[in-house]
Amino acid sequence: MRRRDFVKASALTAGATVIEGCTDEEHFIIQQVRQTTLPGETVWRPGVCRQCAAGCGIQVRVVDGNAKKIEGNEAHPVNRGGVCALGHSLLQELYNPDRVLQPQRLAGARGSGSFEVATWDDAMAAAVQAVSGAAPDRIGIVARDGTGLTGALWRRFASALAAPAPTFLEAPETEVERLAARVALGTDDYPHFDIARAELVLSIGAPFADRWRSPVHYIRALAEMRRGRATRRGRLIQAEARMSLTAANADVWLPIQPGTEGVLARALAGYLLESGGVAAPARQRYERLFPSAPPTLAEAATACDIREDRLLEVAEELAGAENALVMGGGSAAGHTNGLFNVTAALGLNLLLGNLGSPGGVFSPTRVDLGRALSSTGAATPASRLAERLRDGAVDVLIVADADPVHTLPGGFGIADAIAGVETVIVLGSSLDDTAVHADLLLPISTELERFEAAEPGTTAAVAALGMTEPVIEPMGESRHPADVLIALASGLGGGVAGQFPWSDFEEVAEASIEVELARLPGGSGADASDFFDEALERGGVFGEGDPAGAPPGPSGAGPQPAGGRFEGAPNDYPFVLLPFESVRSGTGRAANRPWMQELPDPLSTVMWNCWVEIAPADAEELGIHDQDLLRITSPQGSIELHAVVDPASRPGVVSVPLGHGHSGNGRYAEGRGANVLTLVGSSLVDGTSAPAWAATRVHIERLGEGELVRFGRSYEDMGHDEVIPVGWAPHEPLRKTNPEKSV
């Protein structure tokens, strides 16, 4: 059934209904549905997961009109049938009892969270009035995703208004990684790493088995590298200051000092250059990127605080591997010298001669369906938007499916600055930390309730575009954010409306596919309508075959070597702070879902709360015991968290997961833990506009005893002892005694 017929059928049924649940305090959302199958019959329908930028393909089990189960779509080249815990929890976003299902208008003081229900007509009229009454240069637009059709529509809307370009809240390291790839490899985006066919992978800062970029895609590739060949087992070396899940699954972990990732990469390059195994063209390309002499392994050992003989072993293994590749990013990109760090890491691939080779690095492959809709020029950086807000230069702020108050550093001052905006319009599905400041809150549907066309944020080996019909009927009065945008443009009339001649987002996708049909996989010579229908049945447009396309390499010199700078004097703030994405909490999108709160963090085993990881030596010096309540203070502010005394933590470094400490976002998220980003200042990564989120020092103070919910304990009774990994010397690389066993 095509979407327009689906919507017509939906109009004949009742909308969302709220019924009383198992207790007086909680209500669950169900919908009355038009029966199209036999009662109890199972139907599997393709969908697209938009819970993170990876854009995995999914299959949704639907019974009696209700979504019951989510699995991966084996046809989708990004995840090939896999799906992560965040993707599974999409069902709890769909049926969340605190979900916003009708337009809301502010009924109390700004920030009070007091709203009253409004009709869509009244809400859109108010939005049109606010936008049309503001000077174009005093409008701000924030959206979640800058890729694909939706991002192109927001760019087109800003251009039609003559307003500043939108701000897209992608992961903060993404800009740095993309720019480093352009400098080191000559690609227009972050490249594709052929992990599956590599013999050795060295990852410098990039925790690709955690929540970095496309975890299902990379974990599948890692499994193939290790077990896909009967006679060979690939090896992983992870270099980063914190023991991430990726480091725990590595064959060798180098727990280097934060901010020294580029020194490590340059020293390894020096060894490769001296080994005599580098071809002359590869040497020339690398020396074009870094013309100065690299540091020695001895100098790197001092800077990184890793024994020289251990670095030598890694260098020898890298030089001797038949198919070796190097990845860079993650925490390496979060320091002030992040661009140098990642460029130096990616530059090692020039010396390894693996560009365009099996087990090496390939140019990114994209569908880019929205390229005809708008210019792909630079977006407004979040740091620049924050500056405009602080200066009182924004009268109307539109926020679409994003939470800048929670996800941007405290040093940007978004929470305070937003109070000076005359009108805040939020398109969202929950009363999150930004939505509580809204004047208008417009409900948006989940990806299961709407037509969707989404390109993966991280390139796979082939072109991919997830595209699906609604899996179930929409709840309440929620709408696709692009449909809200089209309606807003239509209401503004004139030249703005003329730039949006479509009735809805599905029509945008159909028109774009018709224009771009000849260059789409399988599109040459096809009928556009048939091609569109077949893509919907399959779950998208997917290319086939092995990776292709060798990056051209650098065109000039890279950033000058530099050390990382940290906010806070070492004497006053002796610990380096490393925020990280736990596979449980991510950046906080799923904090309002009890499934994700109940899921134990794989390493700390903590549930339903936030924590700070601290080394035993530091804990002993400060008189801290496991689970004690601590105050963590930076030059920016302070938060209170419970301690996890972790033998795998490097002394002098403390780590805190992102995604906690919401002031809103529903009963399951509100008030749990603390938001570590409130400690992060306003420093930027040199040569970019990206926040340096790993460039903060902190002071730690013990407040008293405390208690954490951990795996193996009930939520009510937390008296069960936890299990802590066996200790090791933090300055030593960690090796597996049984390389076949992963954590």
**Domains delineated in the chain:** 104-169+368-542 (3.40.50.740), 173-362 (3.40.228.10), 575-735 (2.40.40.20)
Contact 502, 508 (CB under 8 A): yes
For residues 405 and 346, what is the distance between their CA atoms, to the nearest angstrom? 33
| Polymer length in residues for the chain | 743
Burial class of residue 23 (count of CB atoms within 10 Å of its CB; 0-12, 13-18, 19+):
exposed
For residues 67 and 71, what is the distance between their CA atoms, to the nearest angstrom? 11
Q: 467 forms bridges with which residues in the sheet?
A: 453
pLDDT at residue number 10: 42
pLDDT at residue number 45: 96
- On the CB side of 712, CA atoms within 13 Å amount to 9
Strands 167-168, 104-106: parallel, antiparallel or unpaired by DSSP? unpaired
Angstrom distances, CA of residue 594 to CA of 591, 600, 621: 8, 12, 37
User: Which tokens sit at 113?
Assistant: 């969270």
**Angle in degrees, CA 688, 692, 697, rounded to 5:** 155
For residues 608 and 716, what is the distance between their CA atoms, to the nearest angstrom? 12
- On the CB side of 428, CA atoms within 13 Å amount to 30
Per DSSP (E only), the strands in 495-602 are 540-542, 575-580
3-state secondary structure 314-330: HHHHHHHCCCEEEEECH
Contact 122, 104 (CB under 8 A): no
Backbone torsions φ then ψ of 226, nearest 5 degrees: -85, -30
Q: Which residues does 647 contact at the CB level (< 8 Å), separation at least 6?
A: 615, 616, 724, 725, 726, 727, 728
Q: Which residues does 248 contact at the CB level (< 8 Å), separation at least 6?
A: 602, 603, 648, 742, 743
In this structure, how many other beta carbons lie within 10 angstroms of the beta carbon of residue 369?
25
For residues 246 and 523, what is the distance between their CA atoms, to the nearest angstrom? 39
- On the CB side of 630, CA atoms within 13 Å amount to 27
pLDDT along the chain (743 residues), means of 10: 46 36 47 59 95 95 96 96 96 96 95 94 98 98 91 95 96 94 96 96 97 94 91 94 96 97 98 94 96 97 97 97 96 98 98 96 92 81 96 98 96 95 97 96 97 90 94 95 98 97 97 94 95 97 92 95 96 98 91 94 93 97 97 98 96 97 92 96 97 98 94 44 33 49 38
The separation between CA 681 and the C-alpha centre of its own chain, rounded to angstroms, equals 20
Of 675, 673, 663, 611, which Cα lies nearest the Cα of 637?
675
Classify 704 as helix, strand or coil: strand
Strands 606-607, 709-710: parallel, antiparallel or unpaired by DSSP? antiparallel
pLDDT at residue number 514: 95
User: Which tokens sit at 347?
Assistant: 């530059």
